[in-house]
Amino acid sequence: MRKFQNVSRYRQSKLEAQFPDILKLVQVEPSVNYTYVAVSIFDHWLSREESMEYLSNLSHEEIERRGQVFDCFNQLLINNTEILTFRFKGISKSRPQFKNFSSQKVLSDYLRQTDIWMYETVLPELTAVYFEGYDDTNILYLRDLAHKPTIEKWAKEVGLHCLEQW
């Protein structure tokens, strides 16, 4: 059984219009169409010294704890909004192809926190693009700031913090 299924052509065109510049976001380039929001274990951007202290030589238990906090946040997303993934197609690999998950299990497995930039998703109901980050910080790009309080609420419920762009 396939893990992903292409959305309909009609839905594809609607999503392409809803999420312009998605290639820029994947390439970590700025876009005036989005507002950057980081979802982090930490309540502030870490200094160089803090990074050395809080990100290196972690115990296995602490790594697992941090991953579980993000897994709880991701489960809130799964329970409360539609989540799609995407790949790029075409000769230049610049056109997004949006995909549904074939099951809830596939979606839950896909959104497991790994801290290695694995997942790339869109949240159509929240007009947001959501990426797994690194250093215990994930990234949301919001098109509509009216959804930011919801994201902040869910983050706080599980012990995460929302940070503005540094």
**pLDDT, tens digit, for every residue of 69-91?**
999 999 999 999 999 999 999 88
166 pLDDT higher than 70: no
What residue ranges do the domains of the chain occupy? Answer: 4-164
As a whole number, the mean pLDDT across the chain is 94
b/e map 126-137, b = 16+ CB within 10 Å: bbbbbbbbeebb
Please report which helix (H) or strand (E) contains residue 56, including its range.
none
Q: Quick: pLDDT tens for 140-156.
A: 999 999 999 999 999 99
Q: Which pLDDT does position 154 carry in this prediction? A: 98
Residue 90, pLDDT score: 84
pTM value?
A: 0.93
Condensed to tens digits (0 to 9), the pLDDT of residues 121-131 reads: 999 999 999 99
The pLDDT score that the predictor gives to residue 92 is 87
